[in-house]
Structure 1
């Protein structure tokens, strides 16, 4: 493994772990706030127990997200010094604002965790809402910085110099809205379905039902709504990518030749050497419609892109198919859940359906990881699209492979510790005497 691949692998590993911690850290506070609101309005003890349990999970992921995010910040400077030399002054604003949001989140979380019986109940609830809002703001600001890498703005690039810098234009670049919307909805889907899956699994095991049923209803209802909205944001993102990054769209769809009425490819194995896709289902004209809103529109293929600027097609295509496939399955499950709440509660609380929800626990995060592969691998060979290539930004320091191994050990250890803490929290939840209350409490 050469140093460039080691540096890219280290960033991929770091992002792969951090995105899970960050998604849960952003979304769990909202679930916590909903449960707390229900407790304040109804006085039912099960919601108080659930709120306290979820708040402990929020604290765990806040800490791990802070650690993994800090490591990522150092990696940007250590692994990609040439990139940071030019990019830092341009997109530093969203990172500085993200730091402010982080501090607000930390203060609000402290108030919430230690404010039981000390604050006015509704002020206490409000501090939990602030945790969610500030966490969401942090996520949007970080995604805005990543969007800038896909859609550079806020400066003039003249003879290798970055001039006339406008940080606001850089932050609100052409890609920030579609990327932020898609990422936030994905975070809601992944986190809510994961939480629902854990509680559904506990229900199938015959554990105390009041708190698990309440948790399942809150998390899966929010997740279902987000899953239904996600294809809309995906369509907006695809149309945006078709205009700004035609090479990425071509790699996503394994679209090798420019053509009108371009077919949408479902599945298939790309053959990059012969520029074909084997074993694929093709829907005539569908790609043209999805990309440009016209079944007869021309869609740029990789034949119009210089060969040294082609993204890795196979990885990008498979990642895109996995993301879409997982998203569609979660959306269909969400629709069934919402219909069941309306028409047939017996079915959605049956062991068979609860078992399905439990099986879907990791699916949202698989989709999130696949989506980031599409975003990052599909941008290659550029680190700053159309301006700076990844190989030009990497550190000249040798031995990056050892750093990669060290970081892998750290992140795997962190994941193991978090998993053990969560298992303990779930066990403690079921040992709580309040769970023996009747289901109508």
Structure 2
């Protein structure tokens, strides 16, 4: 078998066999296939696509290019939730302890943020002492004892994805739905989860801008799951506006905690209930959405969800007691943006809010950039709230002096009207 023959076959829009795809992945990870050969095949895939079957073969080959976690010793259903990334997306921090408190087992690997999207790891790392660098045995022990752990991505898992993603980034092959789907699914399946919810963010603050394309990606990932024996559900959720009222690291952890107390913002709370109910049904813990939502409401109302959050953070070394202190989030500088207009607010561009948060220090422009855990934005007013002239719209926070020119960027990202806007939190659910 030769890589040149496989490239030519895909250039001619022919289907590749499992053996040919395995040959490509094994050869590329092993160094026998060069970057320029892999680039040629990836471009042929971007131009001619892959069938569902080929995409499943590619996902499988990538998944087994490194270690695969095995949770069979627990004898339990392992659930996981993955978001394609957005602005103010602190869903995992609130949702995972709710699921664990309801008896589901959550074993999750998360990544850092880059650009305008925040990373779950950065938010958790803002909690002093939180250790996401667990070895496999420590990860398994905490999951076994507490039903929940969130750790950093293991470099031994899916090395093929790391190599291919870096190549796609510089060869114009990022925008390929089969390559996007295999990248996401190979990482999720390698963590050993049986039931996976994929939250595909859609809108100007997400990498999927179009609902139909998001649905196409969602359906493909469900099909991959079926072919590889896993239960997958997809929710396509709104990322036209930031999620919740906070963007940052410490400030988002606090909002997640408030949500676990039953005091979360309406849009964020709805995503928690929607995602939680989908996973409870997928794992056969609830017969329908009504029952699932009731279960979530009860576990929040009883305080069990917040207690599980604290138990989990403490189990991974986090100093939970500091979170209860009023000066835990204590930025040195703040800047209030005052409204010069009146009417119902609409945030037109989530990405602009994410970029301003990044410039304040809450995110990274480059991978090697540091994070200011105190930096962020509080939305004193969110979309569909009525604003009067002189009201505080948004408050900017940072450990460093704030560039007041950032105000212009946020003002350009909003508009006012005499009537409320029709805003959906969840565009579609796919099973």
Q: Is the pair's TM-score, using the shorter chain for normalization, greater than 0.5?
A: no
Query: Scaled by the length of structure 2, what TM-score is found?
Result: 0.23
* TM-score normalised to structure 1 length: 0.23
Report which of the two has the higher share of strand.
2
